[in-house]
């Protein structure tokens, strides 16, 4: 057992911080949260010295296999090398305070098993298996000049091609058979793909509807890459739960998300990362041009979502050399969101999105003991997450991953 004393607690939801709290941890769960000193003769006591203690962060749009800023390069690496990259990527995310990841393309049972066996000391993982794309869609990473040796459809390291409702049904069922926690579709054009314009509609309504129906048989949901307002509206009409990126939302799109009780997961960090690093890392000019187009709309879309009262999750979508920019998402969002709204997005809102209310994203009895402590108050300056020395404690499932020497 572990007893954290003298904590300033943000519980994941309330704007009222609780001073002088103690948190008793037994196994991988929080057993009790109380004022003053809780008593347990067998507990290891850690005095937090009044530090800001909160639920571990949740990144709801992450790429565990995303070892290069250009996804097509990832396809050219061996499965063994991809796995070693994933280990490094996930362990680094945990050290940054992200105790839970929702993978958005390619995350699979192998990574989940490696986590369970302790081969990777990483965050909790929710994965979709291979993301699903139509031929020529955002997940089809073949260039226009690609000449295949056979007529087989594309299947890469993070996504595969399906066309038509029957292929969609089979593919979704197979990802669920392989343990997928959710299903990922590409329903608009995107940036880091070679042949589809940003504004392109992808998949027909019947294909999207089939994916939603099949996910529902496992009591789970579909997350959909949807930059445009039209893609968002199409997704909502077919029952998609999670709208990824939502960078060119309009008022009716934001209202539709709210009315459906769905979630939007903006990903501002990848936009800034591509603008900063893309030219230096040799990203093709067409991809850089598409990112410039996306960047013109992104903050306005977040503001529209916020004004409409949408449930806004927290994701980063980073890849390759940009992975260490994960905390940048906090600072970018402060242009239109308050610090408390951003913290909720990265904790309790994302927990609800993952269908894990009460277990993740909260500091409460019976929740997982996924906690972080900071030397500074992020409600005063949300950008403190970019300062690695501010993170004084990271705990995942009751196990201390890292701690500063000042905690004893």
Q: Is there a domain that residue 76 lies in? A: yes
- Looking at residue 149, its pLDDT comes to 47
Q: Is there a domain that residue 215 lies in? A: yes
Q: Is there a domain that residue 246 lies in? A: yes
Compute the distance between CA of residue 145 and CA of residue 148 in angstroms, rounded to an integer: 10
CB 208 within 8 A of CB 235: yes
Compute the distance between CA of residue 38 and CA of residue 46 in angstroms, rounded to an integer: 12
Q: Are residues 63 and 114 in the same domain?
A: yes
Domain coverage including residue 395: 2-56+362-403
Q: Are residues 167 and 267 in the same domain?
A: yes
Compute the distance between CA of residue 288 and CA of residue 311 in angstroms, rounded to an integer: 30
Each residue of 294-352: pLDDT tens digit? 888 999 999 999 999 999 999 999 999 999 999 999 999 999 999 999 999 999 999 99
Residue 398: C-alpha distances to residues 17, 25, 125, 352 (Å): 22, 6, 16, 21
Low-confidence residues of the chain: pLDDT under 50: 149-150
User: What is the DSSP code string of 75-90?
Assistant: HTS-HHHHHHHHHHHH
CA angle (296, 301, 304) in 5-degree steps: 140
- Looking at residue 37, its pLDDT comes to 66
- Looking at residue 406, its pLDDT comes to 65
Q: Is there a domain that residue 334 lies in? A: yes
- Please report where in the chains the tokens 């850690």 appear, as a residue: 46
Q: Are residues 343 and 375 in the same domain?
A: no
CATH of the domain at 90: 3.20.20.140
Q: Please, which residues bridge with residue 155 across strands?
A: 160
- Looking at residue 105, its pLDDT comes to 96
Q: Are residues 255 and 389 in the same domain?
A: no
- Looking at residue 147, its pLDDT comes to 52
Q: Are residues 169 and 208 in the same domain?
A: yes
Q: Are residues 248 and 127 in the same domain?
A: yes
Q: Are residues 207 and 222 in the same domain?
A: yes
- Please report where in the chains the tokens 């929080």 appear, as a residue: 30
Q: Are residues 71 and 118 in the same domain?
A: yes
CB 263 within 8 A of CB 240: no
Q: Is there a domain that residue 21 lies in? A: yes
Q: Is there a domain that residue 322 lies in? A: yes
Q: Are residues 254 and 132 in the same domain?
A: yes
Q: Tell me which DSSP letter residue 270 carries.
A: H
Number of domains observed in the structure of the chain: 2
Q: Please, which residues bridge with residue 372 across strands?
A: 54, 394
- Looking at residue 55, its pLDDT comes to 98
Query: Where would I find the beta strands (DSSP E) of 242-361?
Result: 242-248, 263-265, 311-312
Pairing of strands 263-265, 371-374: unpaired
Q: Are residues 94 and 206 in the same domain?
A: yes
Q: Is there a domain that residue 408 lies in? A: no
CATH of the domain at 393: 2.30.40.10
């Amino acid at each position: 057992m572990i007893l954290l004393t003298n904590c300033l607690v943000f519980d994941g939801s309330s704007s009222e911080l609780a001073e002088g709290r103690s948190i008793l941890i037994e196994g991988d769960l929080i057993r009790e949260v109380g004022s003053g000193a809780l008593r347990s003769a067998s507990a290891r006591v850690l005095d937090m010295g009044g530090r800001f203690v909160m639920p571990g962060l949740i990144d709801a749009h992450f790429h565990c296999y995303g070892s290069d800023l250009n996804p097509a390069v990832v396809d050219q690496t061996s499965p063994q090398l991809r796995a070693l990259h994933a280990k490094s990527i996930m362990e680094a995310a945990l050290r940054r305070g992200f105790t839970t990841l929702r993978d958005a393309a390619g995350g699979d049972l192998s990574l989940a098993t490696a986590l369970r066996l302790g081969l990777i000391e990483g965050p909790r993982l929710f994965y979709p298996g291979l993301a699903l794309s139509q031929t020529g869609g955002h997940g089809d990473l073949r260039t226009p000049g690609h000449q295949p040796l056979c007529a087989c459809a594309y299947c890469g390291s993070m996504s595969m091609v399906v066309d038509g409702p029957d292929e969609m049904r089979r593919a979704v069922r197979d990802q669920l058979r392989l343990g997928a926690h959710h299903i990922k579709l590409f329903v608009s054009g995107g940036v880091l793909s070679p042949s589809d314009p940003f504004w392109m509609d992808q998949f027909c309504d019947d294909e999207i509807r089939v994916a939603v129906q099949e996910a529902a048989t496992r009591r789970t949901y579909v997350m959909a890459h949807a930059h445009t307002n039209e893609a968002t509206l199409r997704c909502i009409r077919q029952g998609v739960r999670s709208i990824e990126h939502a960078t060119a939302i309009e008022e009716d799109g934001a209202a539709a998300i709210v009315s459906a009780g769905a979630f939007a997961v903006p990903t501002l960090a990848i936009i800034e990362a591509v603008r900063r690093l893309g030219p230096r890392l040799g990203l093709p000019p067409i991809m850089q041009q598409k990112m410039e187009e996306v960047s013109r709309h992104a903050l306005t879309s977040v503001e529209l979502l916020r004004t409409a009262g949408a449930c806004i999750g927290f994701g980063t979508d980073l890849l390759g050399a940009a992975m260490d920019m994960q905390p940048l998402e906090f600072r970018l969002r402060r242009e239109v969101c308050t610090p408390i709204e951003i913290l909720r997005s990265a904790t309790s809102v994302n927990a609800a999105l993952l269908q894990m209310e009460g277990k993740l994203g909260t500091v409460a009895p019976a929740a997982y003991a996924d906690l972080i402590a900071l030397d500074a108050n992020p409600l005063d300056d949300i950008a403190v997450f970019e300062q690695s020395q501010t993170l004084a404690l990271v705990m995942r499932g009751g196990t201390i991953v890292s701690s500063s020497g000042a905690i004893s």
